[in-house]
Amino acid sequence: MSASARPDITGFYHEPTGSIAYLAADPSTGRAVIIDPVLDYDEKAARVSHDSADAMLAEIGRRQFTIDWILDTHPHADHLSAAAYLKDRLGAPTGIGARIVEVQKLWRDIYHLPDFPVDGAQWDHLFADGETFSVGTLPARVMLSPGHTRASVTYLIGDAAFVHDTLFQPDSGSARADFPGGRAETLYHSIMAILALPDKTRLFTGHDYKQGGREAQWESTVAEQKRSNIQFKNAPSCEDYAKLRRARDKTLPMPKQILHALQINLRGGRLPPPESDGRNYLKIPVNAL
């Protein structure tokens, strides 16, 4: 990969959820994409705010970027998406993987929302596996990466891959696969496809939980992951990885925002429509998980 295909990447770490949102820009044109923006949410007060998204807007304005896309890698379970908020302010189209419709159908039944549309029309574009686009002069490609969710995709932009909830930093292993629609064996194959990319490919993860008390990190390379990832450095078989992954997932609590977040994120980051009193309400299914 030539130096001219190297995007300028800025990560925005979200302390409450350990999430990272990204700006990926073509240095030669100033055109950029936003990936996995976070809408701040206080689940105790059921209150949304926009400090994190506004920080991205400030950086975009400071650097005079033109935003081509606002992208989600998957419907997030641990934070709300700010895609709709940023679309309203920037006018850029939103996108997500085409298999979002499968996740919408699954969670429509969990939330018992019989009239909820499950056609993905909440986004401007649904990306197919292998679909290509560009960010300025940078080539970009979408790679289906299910396992954490059915709809998860990796965005490959120049020499960078935004691998969302697949691999974490090498000292932290990989993401969980026990959400509705997730599957450890499927995640293994998605990770192996990522590790088959060129060794110098830069990998940008969707979360970091500051393993061992270190500072937050979110960038590695394919070579570093193959050499040092605590779950993959010994080249496990699919069966061995799935056994390890399921055992680990049984020890993990559900994310505290999962039932709040999905009904917003399946709407492309928009709240449920207001009811007759003008308020927006969330629906919490009891004993669903």
CATH number at residue 216: 3.60.15.10
| Residues linked to residue 207 through DSSP beta bridges, in sequence order | 19
- The answer to the question of residue 274 being in a domain is no
* Pure H helices in the chain: 51-63, 83-90, 100-111, 184-195, 222-228, 238-249, 258-265
Give the residues across from 157 on adjacent strands.
140, 160
Tell me the angle at which helices 184-195 and 238-249 cross, rounded to the nearest 10 degrees: 120
| 283 within a domain of the structure (yes/no) | no
**Total number of domains constituting the chain:** 1
The answer to whether 269 and 84 are in contact (CB under 8 A) is yes
Task: Flag whether 62 is in a domain.
Answer: yes
Residue 135 lies in a domain: yes
Whole-number Å distance between alpha carbons of 222 and 197: 7
Residue 1: the pLDDT is 47
Domain assignment present for residue 287? The answer is no
Q: How far apart are CA 16 and CA 46, in angstroms?
A: 15
30 assigned to some structural domain: yes
Q: pTM for the full model?
A: 0.95
Looking at the domain assignment, is residue 288 inside a domain?
no
What's the domain range around 246? 3-265
Q: What is the DSSP letter of 166?
A: S
Q: Is residue 280 a part of any domain in this protein? A: no
Helix (H, G, I), strand (E, B) or coil at 210: coil
pLDDT of the residue at 44: 92
Which residue, chain included where needed, has tokens 């073509």?
A: 26
Tens of pLDDT along the chain (289 residues) come to 455 699 999 999 999 999 999 999 999 999 999 999 999 999 999 999 999 999 999 999 999 999 999 999 999 999 999 999 999 999 999 999 999 999 999 999 999 999 999 999 999 999 999 999 999 999 999 999 999 999 999 999 999 999 999 999 999 999 999 999 999 999 999 999 999 999 999 999 999 999 999 999 999 999 999 999 999 999 999 999 999 999 999 999 999 999 999 999 999 999 999 999 999 999 999 998 8
CA atoms within 13 A on the CB side of 155: 31
